[in-house]
Structure 1
Amino acid sequence: MALKFFSRGSMKGEKAGAKNRLAANLTLSSAFRITLRLFQFVMGIVVIGLYATDLDRARKAGVYYDSKWMYATIVGAIASLASLIMMLPLIRAWFFFGVDAILFILYLTAFGIFGKMFIKEDPEGNKDIVRMKRAVWCLLTNMILWLITACYGAVIFWKSRKASTSLTGRGQEHP
């Protein structure tokens, strides 16, 4: 009987395995965060695809790259990379809410640039203008997603600074 107890690994001081740690860290809020990060990643790839099309067309024609399209493509690439890194479940991504805020500002700038150019534009059957009008709304979606994660991260960061650690024993652990 005693040997069976030891084989289950249920000793009080025993450390949890990687599978148990992952299950313990995967709460409702972390699942929501991972879902938002997945949407940010996908929308970043969409922005890259929409704006890099014109950059590729300019490369093939041998003309200069427009800096506005280059800016939108680079912002999409940085955002996709950042969302991939912050999507990892064992990373406390709320600690990097400043990165979320910076990406929100970058997308806000891109939305301002392309929104002024294309929102009121009448496509008149031009498929490229229709594509750019849709790309503007993708920028707006990205901007909102990064604002949500920046605000969420700031709130969690602020709460974690006020919370006591398990070492002091005066409060609950932060999420």
Structure 2
Amino acid sequence: MSFLVVPLVKFGLSKAKKHHAAKKQAKQAEQFQQPGYNYGPEPPIQMSNYPPNVGPGADIQYQSNPAEPVSKGAKVMGMFISGVRFLQFVFGLTVIGVYGKDVRHDHDDGHTWNAKWVFAMITAFLATSTAAVHMILPFLMRRVTYRPNLKLKLPQFVWEFILCVLWLTLFGIFGKMYIGVYPSESNDSGKRDTDTTTSSSSSSSSDSGLGDASKINRMRHAVWIDLVNLVMWVVTASWVLLRWLKSRRAAEGAAMVDAEKAEQI
């Protein structure tokens, strides 16, 4: 009987081992599927991967592009340019109102619009729109990461230079017409008489096409407003040009540093 008992015992032990191994594997498979399971000891940390004077467990915060500090002079200059932009907007609307009054009178009377007055309104409209964009854009870009593009600064300068040329042309046209010209006041000899006026004002104002006394006075003031606009746009155009030159030099310097590093490698 012993020759039958021994094989049966061995067979039962082998079956029990196989069953125990299969049960253990199933339990491990269930543990692998559970979230947060620890898959065993982590490999040792290589100290060579750490920066100098920094060990495991240190709280390190990395900044890809740290913001450059803005100098006090740059802040003051930015506030000054913002104020100039606001004045450009206000004086542009003033020019539209002054010259638009005569255009409206011509329209109401059924007369043809004078090209010089239309040119003045177009120039003022373009300048006012540009100033408004420069005032609104910083508020729109406040919540957006904005990086000045070097390629956009040159077209901006070109546009502002064109506005300077338009204001200079406008000042030249109306300055030639109204600077030194006064309305005739023959009835009030105590203030001014016709002998003190210039040759262009010695003739009748209606004959010379300058308009009545109120229009001449208004246009004389408008000429100096045109001059103020010209000065302000020259200031901002010069500022944009300086920024473009500074950014170009900085980009060229960075390119030279990168080229030197590449040669060293």
Normalization by structure 2: what TM-score?
0.52
- Alignment partners' CA distance in 1, 2:77 and 2:153: 11
Report the number of matched residues. Answer: 157
Distance 1:167 1:111 in 2: 43
What amino acid is the match of 2:130? A
Quote how far apart the aligned CAs of 1:165 are.
8.3
Change (3 A) 1:38 1:94: farther
The CA distance in 1 between the partners of 2:244 and 2:183, in whole Å, is 45
Larger relative contact order, structure 1 or 2 (CA cutoff 8 Å, min sep 6): 1
User: What is the deviation of 1:120?
Assistant: 1.6
Which residue identity does 1:81 align to in structure 2? S
Deviations 1:61-101 (A, max 9, x none): 00000000000001000100011112232585855111111
Contact kept in structure 2, 1:94 and 1:152, CA below 8 Å? no
In the alignment, is the contact (CA less than 8 A) between 1:75 and 1:107 conserved in 2?
A: yes
Decide which of 58, 63, 78 is 2:106's aligned counterpart. 58
User: Which residue among 230, 233, 236 is the counterpart of 1:143?
Assistant: 230
Contact kept in structure 2, 1:48 and 1:76, CA below 8 Å: yes
Give the deviation of 1:166 after TM superposition.
10
Cα distance in 1 between the residues matched to 2:179 and 2:161? 25
How big is the alpha-carbon RMSD for the aligned residues of Structure 1 and Structure 2? Answer: 3.0
Q: Take 1:81 and 1:13, find their aligned partners in 2: how far apart are those partners?
A: 39
CA shift for structure 1 position 142: 0.4
Give 1:31 shift. 1.7
**Any idea what SS the aligned residue of 2:112 has?**
coil
Contiguous gaps of at least 5 residues in structure 2: 1-60, 186-212, 258-265
Q: Which residue identity does 2:75 align to in structure 1?
A: T
Which residue of structure 1 aligns with residue 206 of structure 2? Answer: none
1:73 to 95, 116, 121: 121
Task: Provide the residue aligned with 2:181 in structure 1.
Answer: 121
Could you say which residue in structure 2 is the equivalent of 1:3?
none
- The amino acid that maps onto 1:66 is N
- Give the partner amino acid of 1:154: L
Distance 1:123 1:12, change over 3 A: farther
Out of 171, 174, 189, the residue aligned to residue 111 of structure 1 is 171
Deviations 1:121-159 (A, max 9, x none): 112361211110000000000000011111111111011
Is 1:162 the counterpart of 2:254 in the alignment? no
Give 1:10-29 correspondences, 5 Å limit.
Answer: 12-13=62-63, 27-29=75-77
One-letter amino acid of the structure 2 residue matched with residue 78 of structure 1 = L
Residue matched to 2:6 = none
**Which residue does the alignment assign to 1:130?**
217
Amino acid at match of 2:107: R
Whole-Å Cα distance in 1 between the matches of residues 153 and 90 of structure 2? 20
State the match for 2:207 in structure 1: none
Q: How far 1:52 moved relative to its partner?
A: 0.3
Q: Percent identity?
A: 33
- Structure 1: unaligned runs, 5 residues or longer: 1-10, 17-23, 171-175
